[in-house]
Structures are given as C-alpha cells and as structure tokens.
Chain A
Amino acid sequence: KAGVTQTPRYLIKTRGQQVTLSCSPISGHRSVSWYQQTPGQGLQFLFEYFSETQRNKGNFPGRFSGRQFSNSRSEMNVSTLELGDSALYLCASSGTGSSYGYTFGSGTRLTVV
C-alpha cells in the first residue's frame, strides 16, 4: 500500500512569506503528526491531529498551525517565515493504538532566504 506522501518535496521562500505543506497519510490511518528537524535541534514535535481534531501540541509559536481534513489528509501552515524556520518538515501517520508504528513521509525541505 502507498506510504505517507508529502508535498512539495522542496520549497524556497522569502522571509515574511507564508507556506503551506501537505501530508497524505497511509490509507486507514487517522492520526497525523508533524515534526521539524534541524541539524542543531534534531526532531521536534509540532502537533498531532486525529479525526480532524488537534489532540497534542508541541512548543512552537502560533505562526505554526495545522489542520486535518475528513479524509485524514493534513496541512501545516507557517506564517511570517523566519530564517530559523529553514528545516526538514516531516509528517507521520499512525493507526489506532500506541503499539502501531509511525510511518514517516520523506519530508518537505523548506529553505527561507
């Protein structure tokens, strides 16, 4: 079955702009979570959505937001981009229950110039 699909794969934006990233989970998975990965900070949790509801949130400013649609696809939005937002953004989907593995997408490489 198809894996987790993230689009776009690469993105270059200018400071102050906003960006929307997309994640399509594995069919049947209702949980989608987002992570930011930078060389200095490693993987950091942004938020998790389950059945269109945000049920977990990390320590990121309000410029980072997300949503999930009825088909479980999720989008992440970052407004007023800063240079420090340059990172690999990963999403992961999971089935029900903590014993299920998290399957990650290949990520979106965002560069802010």
Chain B
Amino acid sequence: KNQVEQSPQSLIILEGKNCTLQCNYTVSPFSNLRWYKQDTGRGPVSLTIMTFSENTKSNGRYTATLDADTKQSSLHITASQLSDSASYICVVTLSGGYNKLIFGAGTRLAVHP
C-alpha cells in the first residue's frame, strides 16, 4: 500500500532553534518527493522538490534530504522564526504517466518566542 508517514505529529520549539521533521514513505513507483508548508486556513506552498537522484535541496533556511534507499526524507529548519509556525506536509508523487500524489498527515510546528 502506498503510504507516507510523518513524524513527529506536532512539535514546539523556541524561536531561533533548529528542528528536523521526518518523512518515511512506501510508495512505488517513485517519481519525486516534495515538502510543503501550509499556514492555517491557506493552501500549501512548495518548499522543495527532489527526484530519485537528488539527496539534498535547500530553500533559504529550509534544507530537505532524501535517502532513496531507506525511503526516508527529512526537512531541517535552521534558526526558526515565529513565521515558521505552520503544518509541514511531505508529498510523494507516483510515476507512470499520471501525477498521483500521496500525502503525509503533516507535522504541526509551533515556534514560541
């Protein structure tokens, strides 16, 4: 069964600290993996996208890694800011012609002053 699991479910950190969110997937055939940030009541916004051959991708203070062998990805947030408070969703795309997305349940991050 195609599945994407994220951990932790929720996380509270202090402003300025770093954190790492995890994503494990059992999706086949794999095309790419994306991380999205979703503010409450808004649509998800893409942070990074990685294909099978890429193992790291950065977007400002966000760095995503991908280990295709262990089917794990992580999103590292450096020097967190209050505006980082949001849900972070890991999404894996199935290959094979149609763009079918498998969503993780998300990690809800709260950054406190």
Contact = CB atoms under 8 A, between A and B. Distances in A.
Nearest to A6: B43
Interface in A33-79: 33, 42-45, 48, 55-56
Given A4-B43, A106-B43, A107-B43, A101 B98 contact: no
Which 10 pairs, one residue from A and one from B, show the smallest C-beta to C-beta distance?
A104-B43, A43-B103, A98-B31, A42-B105, A101-B46, A106-B43, A104-B44, A98-B99, A107-B43, A105-B43
Provide the main secondary structure of the chain B interface: strand
Interface string A85-106: 0001010101000110111111
Contacts, number: 58
A9 to B, nearest CB: 10
A15 interface: no
A90 B98 contact: no
Contacts of A101: 34, 46, 49
26 contacts: A4-B43, A43-B103, A44-B103, A45-B101, A45-B103, A55-B98, A56-B99, A56-B100, A88-B41, A90-B43, A90-B44, A92-B43, A98-B93, A99-B49, A99-B51, A101-B46, A102-B46, A102-B99, A103-B46, A104-B36, A105-B43, A106-B42, A107-B41, A107-B42, A107-B43, A109-B41
